[in-house]
Amino acid sequence: MDFHLYATCPDELVPILATEIAELGGTDIRSVYKAVHFQATKEVYYAAHRQLRTASRLLRVVRESAAATSQMLYDQASRIPWPDLFDVTRSFAIDPIAADGKESALSPAEILRRVREGVMQSFTRRQLKPPLVDAEAPKVTIVAYVQRGRCTFALDSSGKSMDKRGYRLEGHPAPLKETLAAAILRMLDYDGTMPLLDPMCGSGTFPIEAAMIALRKPPLIHRGKGEFGVEWMADFDKDLWRATEERLRAQRVPAPPAPIFASDIDPKFVDLARKDALRARVERDIQFSVGSFQDQRAPLPAGLLVANLPYGTRIGGAADDVKQLYSDIGDTLKRHFQGWTAALLVAQDSPHKFVGLKPNRKIALMNGTIPAWLLVYEIRAWRPKVDEPQDA
Ligand SMILES: C[S@@+](CC[C@H](N)C(=O)[O-])C[C@H]1O[C@@H](n2cnc3c(N)ncnc32)[C@H](O)[C@@H]1O
């Protein structure tokens, strides 16, 4: 039997996630708002939990039904045989999504209340004690997605959000989301066979995600027992789950095919990145150093430079300092990275024009709540103007 699933992600990453799902072996793939619908065999479904790099959550559809009114929603929720679907000795929560926004007939609070009542009713009808509701740390989350008079009831199979890889320590003020870093690397066709350098690595998200791609290491392979929602579902197949984990572990190659370099001007961030890499078990696969972007020189004739640029108060500088930094970055790329592809993730309202190079591609993304551009430059041969001083 195939499983009917949705993998969620920010809307601009939907095409990337759809490609990942196709490679994994998903079928009937359809892109919808902020999610990809697909079907999968149990093997593919299990592998998706550990292997998808750009998904935020994995939802397993239980039923889709008409739910135009509060009463219909309750009736539908109470008819689903919830006691047969998950471990009833465990706590659960409900995640109500009113996808029509303000025009929605049912508010999130109303959806939550009615679905909870319906779930409870499905237990009491069978004279069973309903499980505890735990909104903070539930083992099972029931998602109720209401749109245009219909409700999709699903079980959250991922548990914790899938960007929480488990390697990140506190300590950097502006780390990238792991799933966004992985999606950007994919947009740049990074597959581990070309050298990679992040000269502003911060907590190390780009190099760590790159190392996992290069090593063919699934991003959630180290997530512990019981941390995925699927492990609390009634039909959980422990043997297949373990066999899938072993199969995925066996795909790992011993070392990245090309080097990965990570650097930052602040030694404490390089230290943090090293610790995060150790937790991700890729520390030996990344070459760390402390230094400024301005002092970087291409370590090899060609490769991919990727950096998430600081801006405004985040680097503690005045506006002119930021413009100067962006202009220095442009100069460094022109002079010392010919033959490289450089991808800069910048805030849309940053002074990115001061980089002074024309991007070959410009991709709109959201970096959390900040509208951003991914500016991609193919750095070609550069000659100084006659009156321009040359570097040593
Ligand atoms: C937006 S953060 C990068 C965050 C990183 N992508 C992560 O996921 O943690 C920008 C980083 O640039 C570093 N930085 C600022 N000015 C720099 C310079 N001139 N050269 C190198 N790094 C610099 C900061 O120390 C900071 O860690």
| One domain for residues 186 and 326 | yes
Q: What's the pLDDT score for residue 320?
A: 72
On whether residue 172 sits in a domain, the answer given is: no
Per-residue model confidence as pLDDT tens digits over 89-144: 888 999 999 888 766 679 999 999 999 999 999 999 999 988 888 888 888 999 99
CATH of the domain at 265: 3.40.50.150
Phi and psi of 58, rounded to 5°?
A: -120, 120
187 and 285 both lie in a single domain: yes
**Residue whose CB lies within 8 A of the most ligand 1 atoms, among 200, 293, 323, 332, for a mutation test:** 200
pLDDT tens for the chain, 392 residues long, are 799 999 999 999 999 999 999 999 999 999 998 999 999 999 999 999 999 999 999 999 999 999 999 999 999 999 999 999 988 788 899 999 988 876 667 999 999 999 999 999 999 999 998 888 888 888 899 999 999 899 999 999 999 999 999 999 999 999 999 999 999 999 999 999 999 999 999 999 999 999 999 999 999 999 999 999 999 999 999 999 999 999 999 999 999 999 999 999 999 999 999 999 999 999 999 999 999 999 999 999 999 999 999 976 545 456 678 999 999 999 999 999 999 999 999 999 999 999 999 999 999 999 999 999 999 999 987 666 666 555 54
39 assigned to some structural domain:
yes
Ligand 1 contact via 326 beta carbon (within 6 Å): no
Q: Ligand 1: which atom is nearest the Cα of residue 307? A: 6
Instruction: Establish if 245 belongs to a structural domain.
Output: no
Give residue 344 CA to ligand 1 midpoint distance, Å: 12
How many domains does the chain divide into? 2
Q: Note the pLDDT of residue 361.
A: 97
- Helix (H) / strand (E) containing 8: strand 3-8
Domain carrying residue 89: 3-156
CA angle 107, 111, 112 (to 5 degrees): 115
Ligand 1: centre distance to CA 295 (Å): 14
Distance 372 CA to ligand 1 centre (A): 16
Tell me which residue of 13, 283, 372, 363 sits closest to 162, measured CA to CA.
13
**Residue 262 CB neighbour total at 10 angstroms:** 27
Cα separation, 357 vs 331, whole angstroms? 9
**Which helix (DSSP H) or strand (DSSP E) does residue 304 occupy?**
strand 304-308
Q: Assess whether 149 and 262 both reside in one domain.
A: no
3-state DSSP assignment of residue 390? coil
Residue 239 Cα to ligand 1 middle (Å): 44
Same domain, residue pair 191 and 332: yes
Which pLDDT value is given to residue 367? 95
In this structure, are strands 92-98 and 304-308 parallel, antiparallel, or unpaired? unpaired
285 SS3 class:
helix
CATH number at residue 37: 3.30.2130.30
- The partner residues of 287 in beta bridges, in order of sequence, read 261
- Is the same domain home to 263 and 149? no
Same domain, 143 and 291: no
283 part of a folded domain: yes
In contact, 325 and 200? CB cutoff 8 Å: no
Residues 111 and 189 grouped into a single domain = no
C-beta of 351 in contact with ligand 1 (< 6 A):
no
